[in-house]
Amino acid sequence: MFSKSRALTSKSLLLINILILINAVAMASGTSAESQIANPPVQSVKEILNQQRKLYSQSLQLIARGDWRALRQQRQQLVDYPLYPYLLYAELLGNLRYSKRADITAYLESYPETVKAQFLQGKWLDYLARRGYWQSYIEVYGKYNYIPNTSRQCNFHLAQYRLGNKPAALQAGLKLWSQGKSQPKTCDKLFGILISGGHISEKLAWQRFNEAILKHRYQLARYLKRFFVSPSYRLRYEIYYQVNRDPNSLSRHSNFVEHSENELNILEHGLKRLARKDPNKALKHWSRYQQTHEFSHRARASLVSEIVKGLYLAGHVSAADSYFVDHLKLLNQTLQGSLTEWRIREALRELDWPAVRKWLARLPQENQQQSIWRYWTIRSMEGDPSSTLNPHIETLTLRLARERDFYGFLASEKLALEYSLNHNPVPIDESRIEQLAAIPGLQRARELLFHRDDLNANREWYSATQNFTHPDWLAAAVLASQWQWHNKAIASLGRVQYWDDVEIRFPLAYVDLINKAAKNTGIPNYMLFALVRQESAFNASATSSAGAMGLIQVMPATAKATARKYKILYRNKKQLHNPAINIPIGSKYYMSMLERFDNNRILATAAYNAGPHRVDQWLKKSSGKLPFDIWMTLIPFKETRGYVSSVLMYSIIYSRKLGLEPPMLLQHEREALL
């Protein structure tokens, strides 16, 4: 079907590599490839690449029509193009049948490092399993460094069983069955053999039940009841299941005398649930079980944390604080200070500045150095009459103003200083950039990006960068930035926590679309840049776990309602991956949030992330008594707290890149009580 030698080496591929490298070096130095090398070969290589890109686009149309004969003829001109394996893959997948096994094997051996080889091997395994070619299945399964999913693992062990290797199949099948989650339906045949053969012991079922109940997978937990036939296991099942339904059943201490790991887990689970309902009862039972059972540090800290919160929320503040202080070392060490941070927020809610200062002092030293808690140390000193005039306040504020973050910017505003952007560009290692640009996987990723096949481009990038070192990631960030692949450039710097290259981390992309949206909505363009940067890092193909899509991450239902309200042409959710559709809809929706919340960007931004109804609830709870900074700190969702502060901080970075000098917060936003 294809020549292995031609697939692996070629003169034209070398020329394409040269062009990519020339462009990479040229862009790094700020000049064009043409100005560096003006002789005819460079231009001819560029023409070759452009022609191959055009032919590849035409080939995609042939694939869509299923015109495999024409594709075979045309792809002969693309043997040296980085995406040639994609054309071979398309035909193999489109005509998947047993007679093609030699071609499939040749592909898997010739392109083992490609993403498509992994997909083809998976699809081929599924084909073999559906038709019962078990010997071929086993032969293909263990080759080419393929990592199978659970469905294909089950089929492999089923193949072992069918071919006579029953002990290995049963042992592996039991391991898959025992996991505390429902497995794919593909596994039903293998699991059916285990069940009908009586291979599921009560001990194994009990292990799976415990894991299921602790992960709140109650349907699976109920299913497992059928495997408990002896009186002892049936009784234990009822006891544990009852603890989950009614944690008050923990009062029957005689039910818990095994001291096993499973029992410790269920006791922890039940006590936490009880602490939220009746913290006093939980504390009573916890005191008893501590004497009879040996809990881990993690379990103890987790339980004490729930009891402290339960007591506090039930109005027993003194008791909660006393119990907290008694266990402060354990809680800070095991929970990394998170409960102490929660207690500071509760003190802020009450505007209790002495309590804020007291709990700030109880934070672990590492937490105390974080910008947010340095800020609240300053604010607590300002808010407490006993320390309002302390001259150390200005010193602390000046130090905080050196930080490039939301609280550093607030400190700069207090001192009327310009914000500290602290730009420190990534050191450019041209030789390493050249090496990365020559990696076949990254070449495929670059070409896929050119053809707007973002999904496969992302897959190739991920595969090619698996073993990158710190210097590799820095070079990858520069290379991706040169390719205008901004989300990968940003992510690459994030991998090595290099935060100071403001140019790469905050690109000015989609400028025309964002400026047009700013004009149509009255929203400053730097705010829209900040939203896009926070929402997707300029990844137009992004889709969140909740289903939000595109550059400004719009939910399909929100997009439909917004498009109808503002008469924006919109047909289906796939269009949300089109920046020309996404940006107008997202910006109009943000405009509607600004209108709803009196042009307050703090509230509008929180509403964009968490929903306007939640913001209404939070405002109702605070009753217009809290300064903006406290209200932001008390947002119940950690994600939304970070989201609002990041968008506002990003807006300053983008305003400065655009030559503008607005303050981070407008006067009415700073002065409003929320």
- Tell which residue, 370, 367, 342, has the closest CA to residue 356: 342
Q: What are phi and psi of 543, to 5 degrees?
A: -135, 125
For residue 554, list its beta bridge partners.
Answer: 549
CA 45, 51, 57, 63 dihedral sign is negative
Residue 76 to residues 17, 56, 88, 130, Cα–Cα distance (Å): 19, 11, 11, 33
Counts for the chain of helices (H) and strands (E), in that order: 41, 0
Give the 3-state secondary structure of 483-518. Answer: CCCHHHHHHHHHHCCCCCCHHHHCCCCCHHHHHHHH
Other Cβ atoms within 10 Å of 330 Cβ, number: 15
Say how far apart CA 159 and CA 130 lie, in whole Å.
11
Helix (H, G, I), strand (E, B) or coil at 419: coil
Q: For residue 39, count CB atoms less than 10 angstroms from its CB and return exposed for 0-12, middle for 13-18, buried for 19 or more.
A: exposed
Tokens standing for residue 429: 């290692």
Say how far apart CA 138 and CA 211 lie, in whole Å.
31
Say how far apart CA 379 and CA 377 lie, in whole Å.
6
CA 587, 590, 596, 597 dihedral sign is negative
Say how far apart CA 410 and CA 426 lie, in whole Å.
27
Query: Are the C-beta atoms of 161 and 138 separated by less than 8 Å?
Result: no
Which residues in 257-276 are b (16+ Cβ under 10 Å) and which e? Answer: eeeeebbbbbbbbbbbbbbe
For residue 543, list its beta bridge partners.
Answer: 549
Other Cβ atoms within 10 Å of 215 Cβ, number: 12
- Tell which residue, 194, 187, 191, 225, has the closest CA to residue 208: 225
Say how far apart CA 223 and CA 312 lie, in whole Å.
38
Query: Are the C-beta atoms of 126 and 152 separated by less than 8 Å?
Result: yes
Rg (CA), the chain: 30
- Tell which residue, 190, 195, 118, has the closest CA to residue 159: 190
Annotated active-site residue 261? The verdict is: no
Tokens standing for residue 619: 């405002």
Residue 73 to residues 8, 11, 16, 177, Cα–Cα distance (Å): 19, 20, 22, 49
Say how far apart CA 25 and CA 269 lie, in whole Å.
58
Say how far apart CA 628 and CA 624 lie, in whole Å.
10
Helix (H, G, I), strand (E, B) or coil at 554: strand
Residue 230 to residues 86, 201, 235, 513, 560, Cα–Cα distance (Å): 57, 11, 9, 69, 57
- Identify the active-site residue in 91, 306, 535, 669: 535
Residue 398, CA atoms < 13 Å, CB-side half-sphere: 5
| Unique residue bearing structure tokens 């150095």 | 369
- Tell which residue, 413, 421, 418, has the closest CA to residue 397: 413
Which stretches within 215-253 are classed as H helix? 218-223, 231-245
DSSP structure class, residue 361? H
Residues tagged active-site: 535
